[in-house]
């Protein structure tokens, strides 16, 4: 569905040449600091379809060099959109203190 070059661990422009935005510290600080729930990915269920990356409003879903998907919890606000959109139900929202 998406070419590999679209999903990168870019920094400041990255290697793709595409205008990929990354979360940065804003006036409110790291947006993950006030999160109540956080997403937890079950790697056994994840098919690497990257729909979570597509739908995440914070742009904090990344693909690792090992071809896994991971979430930058510094900026994840715990909205749960990724869990809702994941077709494999691989993402569970858990309370921060759990
Ligand atoms: S949407 Fe679900 S299956 Fe697809 S990459 Fe994200 S966690 Fe994996
Ligand atoms: S919970 Fe919301 S902000 Fe966090 S990774 Fe999922 S979609 Fe992005």
pLDDT digits (tens, 9 = 90+) for 1-14: 444 444 444 444 44
Q: What is d(CA 28, CA 54) in angstroms, rounded to the nearest whole number?
A: 24
pLDDT digits (tens, 9 = 90+) for 29-60: 676 667 899 999 999 999 999 999 999 998 99
Among 2, 62, 90, name the best residue to mutate to test ligand 1's pocket (greatest count of ligand atoms within 8 A of Cβ).
Answer: 90
Nearest partner of 45 among 92, 93, 80, judged by Cα: 92
Does residue 56's CB lie within 6 angstroms of at least one atom of ligand 2? yes
pLDDT given at position 18: 61
Nearest partner of 90 among 62, 57, 51, 59, judged by Cα: 51
pLDDT given at position 8: 46
Please indicate whether residue 97 or residue 55 has the higher confidence score (pLDDT): 55
pLDDT given at position 67: 86
Atom of ligand 2 nearest to the CA of 77: 3
CATH architecture of the domain formed by 32-98: 2-Layer Sandwich (3.30)
Mean per-residue pLDDT of the chain: 80
- pTM for this prediction: 0.76
């Amino acid at each position: 569905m998406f070419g590999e070059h679209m999903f990168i661990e870019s920094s400041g422009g990255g290697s793709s040449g595409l205008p990929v935005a990354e979360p940065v510290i804003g006036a409110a600080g790291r947006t993950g600091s006030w999160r109540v729930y956080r997403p937890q990915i079950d790697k056994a269920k994840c098919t690497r379809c990257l729909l979570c990356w597509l739908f995440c409003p914070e742009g904090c879903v990344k693909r690792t060099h090992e071809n896994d998907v991971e979430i930058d919890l510094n900026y994840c606000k715990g909205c749960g959109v990724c869990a809702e959109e994941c077709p494999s139900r691989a993402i569970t929202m858990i309370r921060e203190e759990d």
